[in-house]
Amino acid sequence: MSARPRLFAGIDKLDEAENDVALARLRLSETVDEIQSRLAPSQLLDGALDGIKTRSIDLAETASDVVRDRPGTVAAGAAGVVLLLARKPIARLARRLFSRT
């Protein structure tokens, strides 16, 4: 036997290893591309807007349930908010009314 067959005996394994490396590089490249597309500003904005829309819808549904279940409480709360926002005009009106008497 000559030394030549022993010398080239590992070439099949070397070719197999090179193919494995090429496949690994391809998978890594695809993974990096996918990560870059997920982290693109437009994708992040779309995701954030979708989340805001979903939460807004949930909040509106919850609010409508509360109004339906407790209309008196909601009306009292709304009246309190109106009085809070209109406190200065109401105070001026009260001063005018009581200063005339």
pLDDT on residue 99: 86
User: With pLDDT > 70 as the criterion, what percentage of the chain qualifies?
Assistant: 87
Residue pLDDT, tens place only, 36-63: 999 999 999 999 999 999 999 999 999 9
Q: Is 89 among the domain residues?
A: yes
- DSSP secondary structure letter of residue 40: S
Q: Is 100 among the domain residues?
A: yes
Q: Is 49 among the domain residues?
A: no
Count of domains in the chain?
A: 1
Distance CA 76, CA 73 (A): 5
Q: Is 51 among the domain residues?
A: no
Q: Is 93 among the domain residues?
A: yes
Tokens coding 34: 């996918």
Q: Is 90 among the domain residues?
A: yes
CB environment 89-100: b (16+ within 10 A), e (fewer): eeeeeeeeeeee
State the residue range of the domain holding 75.
71-101
Q: Is 85 among the domain residues?
A: yes
Q: Is 83 among the domain residues?
A: yes
